[in-house]
Amino acid sequence: MSLPSIVRLAWQMPLLLALTSCSVSGDGLAPALPDERLALAAPPAAHSAAQAEDDRIFRETRRLVGTPRWTLATSDADLHPAAFLSHYSCAVGFTLDLAKAPHLARIMTIIAKAETPRTSEEKHYWKRARPFIGNDAPICVARSPELSKSPSYPSGHTIAGYSTALVLSALMPERAAPILQRGRVIGESRIVCGVHWASDVAAGYQAAGAFAVALLEDPLLRALMPQARQELRKMAAESSPPDPALCALEADAAAHSPFNQP
* 24, 110 contact by CB (below 8 A): yes
Catalytic residue among 54, 76, 200, 218: 200
Chunked into runs of 10 residues, the chain (262 residues) has average pLDDT values of: 36 38 45 94 97 98 98 96 95 97 96 95 98 97 95 98 96 98 98 98 98 94 97 97 97 97 73
* 119, 159 contact by CB (below 8 A): yes
Active site residue 175: no
Q: How much is the pTM?
A: 0.88
Catalytic residue among 69, 87, 130, 196: 196
Q: Compute the distance between CA of residue 221 and CA of residue 228 in angstroms, rounded to an integer.
A: 10
Q: Compute the distance between CA of residue 83 and CA of residue 110 in angstroms, rounded to an integer.
A: 18
Can you give the pLDDT at residue 30? 74
Can you give the pLDDT at residue 16? 39
Q: What are the phi and psi torsion angles at 13 (to 5°)? A: -55, -50
Q: Compute the distance between CA of residue 185 and CA of residue 177 in angstroms, rounded to an integer.
A: 12
Catalytic residue among 69, 157, 182, 184: 157
Active site residue 80: no
Catalytic residue among 69, 118, 182, 190: 190
3-class SS letters over the chain: CCHHHHHCCCCCHHHHHHCCCCCCCCCCCCCCCCCHHHHCCCCCCCCCHHHHHHHHHHHHHHHHCCCHHHHHHHHHCCCCHHHHHHCCHHHHCCCCCHHHCHHHHHHHHHHHHHHHHHHHHHHHHHCCCCCCCCCCCCCCCCCCHHHHHCCCCCCHHHHHHHHHHHHHHHHCHHHHHHHHHHHHHHHHHHHHHCCCCHHHHHHHHHHHHHHHHHHHHCHHHHHHHHHHHHHHHHHHHHCCCCCHHHHHHHHHHHHCCCCCCC
Active site residue 157: yes
